[in-house]
């Protein structure tokens, strides 16, 4: 049996060793690496189908990020006890891996490629998503799959104004940014960030800082492939069958159709046609040209359609690069017309309708009790989430018909981006103890719906009366680049996104950036383009914020009448059991009787959520009665509940929910200064009696006094015996006679 060959190589990333190994496991995959980063271990495989997938005109790449709960020593919850569909975090990480890889495959390639990252072990200080991204790059690089990589990826954090690579859990909590940078050795390919109002110039420096480390990782992976090839653990690259158009046919058709399409585009620009009008005009011209060409080339339907689309793309791009004008007539840095409305839905807790050109988003806020926060069952550190944003993209928003299904990767990704943009502005639980859910419904789409969701969500939060720290807006930037020529576009629409080279979304406040996301279709962009895009985005964002603030510039002072009011109190943690009761009996009864929601934290904080404030205060009164401490010296107006020969029992805190209240004994000697022969001479059962707590007996029962609250009758002042301890009335036995000590 041939001896197993294993290659293992390490690099320092953020002060910790990242080790990549191949040759030990998953040897039947096209390329497989085991990445170890601290105690985080991820197995990444890349495999390609041998046959071309027919009938498609796109590259079929799939990236999967598979979380296994055994990686953190957990058993999945629920009845089935095994992992189900990917978590939201897993979906977002899969997108994170896909985005920098996709532009680096040969154009026209149609072989299916699948990258699978399997998370085997997780150390909280070492992010598995970065190990997976680096592993995906290495697995592709040592495989036979055609790939113009490798890439590297890092997380950049900033603590006390110091930039750090892949911050550990402690630094991550202190950091004012979470920036993911991925790229090749030459250029940045992908950026994604959440930040606490970081200025654009500082964000740019962080991107450049991250890319320097990316370069080192790229060089490391190149060296890894070289050594793997020498050991027979890497493969020579496969020459794929590419979808390439016949050059002569392409030249003939391009010459035939260019003028007609160019005239149609000019008409769109001059008349500033809407999306529907533009599509009708261009589609009409293309259909006419296609019909004419099919008469001559009846076997070339797909090629004709592809060539005509290519001509349209080139001409639109040339108008932008040469004439500096866009297909809707806007200047390169011009934002589409904006319309803003708030309070558009009468029964919701807050709503905002944001329209920018022909992109329209309706965002709705719902406020709930703390108990309604989302429970996360994944590999992350966080176990709950009290602020969430969900994004829906129905087919009617683009005038199409499609089946309505559960959210896909795109919807999850756009929702997470808008959530990240607003998260730093959400007030802490101590200030605003609500669970907050925002849903953004895309009603019309012509590009930049995720940034429309940011704006709509901010409006709805202000309308709901949520005390956010500052208003947030977002804008999507585009890029057209050919050779050394380039143009950066502000507020791109759908066609510019489709035909352009970059989609760079920037969200933030007037003070700084709160979220970034950049995807490109070319082999990277440099610092100059990033600088221009960030500066231009700032101008666009300030313009949009201005329009929003004209309508609503601060949170409403009152919540919606349909939103729950949350009343807070704090009880002794040892008394939590008095409120909950055996098996939750008491708290269930409170909820049933008042119709409120009650959340009790382990530290004794109690949150009562009620749409009807009276019901909330009723529940609060019950909780206070159940947990109220009785201390010596306190005065109560109680009810006489029982009379005995030696005194009466007075209920000073009434019972609730059928439970007994708190009572104490007023001894007959404590009813009056004068001698009382019969208790009934002073009080009767059912009377209200003002009493003072004078202590507890040796069995822990309350002792009360009515006498102490009465004025001393004239002439009795000197007759009142001073209260003294029984033990002090006479000398101790040992004090009454001397002790005899005998020595043995």
pLDDT at 56: 83
Bridge-based pairing of strands 177-183 and 188-198 is: antiparallel
pLDDT at 741: 44
pLDDT at 744: 36
Residue ranges of the binding site = 497, 503
CATH T-level topology, domain 7-230: Ribosomal Protein S5; domain 2 (3.30.230)
pLDDT at 625: 86
pLDDT at 206: 97
Give, in words, the CATH class of 565-627: alpha beta
pLDDT at 734: 44
Going by pLDDT thresholds of 50, 70 and 90, the confidence category of residue 630 is confident
Question: pLDDT tens digit string along 39-50?
Answer: 999 999 999 999
Give, in words, the CATH class of 635-714: mainly beta
| Locus of tokens 């990480």 | 93
CA separation for the pair 45, 284 (Å, rounded) = 46
Q: How many helices (H) and strands (E) does the chain have?
A: 15, 29
Cα 671-672-677 angle, rounded to 5 deg: 80
Residue 226's φ and ψ, nearest 5 degrees, are -60, -45
pLDDT at 379: 81
pLDDT at 80: 86
Say which range, 266-280, 432-446, 716-730, has the weakest mean pLDDT.
Answer: 716-730
User: Which is higher by pLDDT, 488 or 578?
Assistant: 488
CB contact at 8 A, 474 and 421: yes
Tokens of 326: 């866009």
Read off the pLDDT of each residue in 235-253 and give the average, rounded to a whole number: 85
Question: pLDDT tens digit string along 94-108?
Answer: 999 999 999 999 988
pLDDT at 300: 86
Question: pLDDT tens digit string along 22-81?
Answer: 999 999 999 999 999 999 999 999 999 999 998 887 899 999 999 999 999 988 877 888
pLDDT at 631: 82
Residue ranges of the binding site for Mg(2+) = 497, 503
Q: In which order are the strands placed within the sheet that holds 16-22?
A: 7-13, 16-22, 31-37, 40-52, 111-121, 61-66
CA separation for the pair 189, 545 (Å, rounded) = 29
Q: Is 355's pLDDT higher than 60?
A: yes
Q: Is 138's pLDDT higher than 90?
A: yes
pLDDT at 719: 56
Please tell me the total number of residues recorded for the chain in this structure.
744
CB contact at 8 A, 189 and 183: yes
Residue spans of the domains in the chain: they are: 7-230, 247-323, 338-551, 565-627, 635-714
| Locus of tokens 């994004």 | 391
pLDDT at 679: 95
Q: Is 177's pLDDT higher than 50?
A: yes
Q: Is 15's pLDDT higher than 60?
A: yes
Read off the pLDDT of each residue in 588-605 and give the average, rounded to a whole number: 92
pLDDT at 718: 59
Name the average pLDDT for the chain: 92
Q: How far apart are the first and last CA of the chain?
A: 91
Q: 3-class DSSP state for residue 559?
A: coil
Same CATH topology for 7-230 and 338-551? Answer: yes
pLDDT at 653: 87
Query: How many CB atoms sit inside 10 A of residue 721's CB?
Result: 6
CA separation for the pair 63, 133 (Å, rounded) = 10
Going by pLDDT thresholds of 50, 70 and 90, the confidence category of residue 739 is very low
| Locus of tokens 């009515």 | 706
Q: Is 733's pLDDT higher than 50?
A: no
pLDDT at 368: 94
Q: Is 727's pLDDT higher than 60?
A: no
Q: In which order are the strands placed within the sheet that holds 162-165?
A: 162-165, 152-159, 177-183, 188-198, 513-520, 502-508, 473-482, 485-490
Read off the pLDDT of each residue in 230-246 and give the average, rounded to a whole number: 87
Read off the pLDDT of each residue in 645-658 and give the average, rounded to a whole number: 89
CB contact at 8 A, 67 and 379: yes
Say which range, 344-358, 474-488, 531-545, 624-638, has the weakest mean pLDDT.
Answer: 624-638
Say what angle helices 449-464 and 409-422 make with each other, to 10 degrees. Answer: 50
Say what angle helices 247-271 and 275-296 make with each other, to 10 degrees. Answer: 150
Residue 694's φ and ψ, nearest 5 degrees, are -110, 0
Task: Domain 338-551: give its CATH architecture.
Answer: 2-Layer Sandwich (3.30)
Say which range, 232-241, 407-416, 694-703, has the weakest mean pLDDT.
Answer: 694-703
Q: Is 496's pLDDT higher than 80?
A: yes
By CB atoms closer than 10 A (0-12, 13-18, 19+), residue 226 is: exposed
Read off the pLDDT of each residue in 573-582 and give the average, rounded to a whole number: 90
């Amino acid at each position: 049996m041939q001896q197993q060959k294993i290659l293992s190589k390490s690099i320092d990333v953020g002060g910790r060793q990242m080790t990549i190994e191949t040759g030990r496991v998953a040897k039947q995959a096209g390329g497989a690496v085991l990445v170890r980063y601290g105690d985080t271990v991820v197995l990444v495989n890349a495999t390609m189908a041998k046959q071309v997938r027919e009938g498609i005109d796109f590259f079929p790449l799939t990236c999967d990020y598979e979380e296994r709960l055994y990686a953190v020593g957990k058993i999945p919850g629920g009845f089935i006890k095994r992992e189900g569909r990917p978590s939201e975090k897993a979906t977002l990480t899969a997108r994170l891996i896909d985005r920098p890889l996709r532009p680096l495959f040969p154009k026209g390639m149609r072989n299916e490629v699948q990258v699978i990252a399997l998370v085997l072990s997780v150390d909280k200080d070492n992010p598995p998503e970065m190990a997976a991204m680096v592993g995906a790059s290495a697995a592709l690089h040592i495989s036979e799959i055609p790939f113009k990589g490798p890439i590297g990826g890092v997380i950049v954090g900033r603590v006390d104004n110091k930039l750090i690579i892949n911050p550990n859990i402690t630094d991550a909590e202190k950091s004012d940014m979470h920036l993911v940078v991925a790229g090749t050795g030459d250029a940045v390919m992908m950026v994604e960030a959440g930040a606490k109002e970081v200025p654009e110039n500082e964000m740019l420096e962080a991107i450049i800082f991250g890319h320097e480390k990316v370069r080192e990782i790229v060089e490391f992976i190149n060296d890894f492939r070289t050594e793997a090839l020498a050991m027979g653990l890497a493969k020579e690259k496969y020459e794929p069958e590419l979808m390439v158009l016949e050059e002569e046919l392409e030249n003939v058709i391009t010459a035939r159709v260019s003028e007609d399409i160019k005239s149609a585009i000019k008409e769109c620009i001059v008349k500033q046609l809407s999306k529907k009008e533009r599509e009708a005009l261009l589609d009409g011209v293309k259909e006419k040209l296609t019909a004419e060409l099919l008469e001559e080339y009846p076997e070339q339907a797909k090629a004709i359609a592809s060539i005509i689309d290519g001509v349209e793309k080139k001409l639109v791009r040339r108008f932008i690069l040469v004439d500096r004008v866009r297909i809707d007539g806007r200047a390169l840095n011009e934002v589409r017309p904006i319309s803003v409305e708030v309070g558009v839905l009468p029964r919701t807790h807050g709503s905002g309708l944001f329209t920018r050109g022909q992109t329209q988003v309706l965002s709705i806020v719902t406020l709930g009790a703390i108990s309604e926060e989302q429970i996360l069952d994944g590999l992350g550190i966080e176990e709950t989430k009290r602020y969430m944003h969900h994004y829906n993209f129905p087919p009617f928003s683009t005038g199409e018909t499609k089946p309505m299904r559960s959210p896909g990767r795109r919807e999850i990704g756009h929702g997470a981006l808008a959530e990240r943009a607003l998260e730093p502005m959400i007030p802490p639980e101590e200030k605003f103890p609500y669970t907050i859910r925002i849903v953004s419904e895309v009603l019309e789409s012509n590009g930049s719906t995720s940034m429309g969701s940011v704006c709509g969500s901010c409006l709805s939060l202000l309308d709901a009366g949520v005390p956010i720290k500052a208003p947030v807006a977002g804008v999507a930037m585009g890029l057209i680049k050919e050779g050394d020529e380039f143009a950066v576009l502000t507020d791109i629409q759908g066609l510019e996104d489709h035909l352009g080279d970059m989609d760079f979304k920037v969200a933030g406040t007037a003070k700084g950036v709160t979220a970034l996301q950049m995807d490109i279709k070319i082999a990277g962009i440099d610092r100059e383009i990033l600088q221009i895009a960030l500066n231009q985005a700032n101008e666009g964002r300030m313009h949009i914020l201005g329009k929003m603030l004209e309508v609503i510039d601060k949170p409403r002072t009152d919540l919606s009448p349909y939103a729950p009011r949350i009343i807070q109190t704090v009880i002794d943690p040892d008394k939590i059991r008095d409120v909950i009761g055996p098996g939750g009996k008491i708290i269930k009864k409170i909820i049933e009787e008042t119709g409120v929601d009650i959340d009790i934290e382990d530290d004794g904080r109690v949150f009562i959520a009620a749409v009807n404030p009276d019901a909330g205060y009723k529940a609060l009164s019950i909780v206070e009665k159940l947990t109220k401490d009785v201390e010596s010296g306190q005065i109560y107006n109680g009810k006489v509940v029982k009379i005995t020969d030696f005194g009466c029992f007075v209920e000073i805190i009434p019972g609730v929910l059928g439970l007994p209240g708190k009572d104490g004994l007023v001894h007959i000697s404590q009813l009056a200064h004068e001698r009382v022969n019969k208790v009934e001479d002073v009080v009767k059962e059912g009377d209200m009696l003002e009493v003072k707590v004078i202590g507890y007996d040796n069995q822990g029962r309350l002792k009360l006094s009515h006498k102490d609250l009465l004025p001393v009758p004239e002439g009795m002042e000197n007759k009142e015996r001073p209260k003294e301890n029984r033990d002090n009335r006479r000398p101790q036995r040992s004090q009454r006679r001397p002790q005899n000590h005998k020595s043995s």
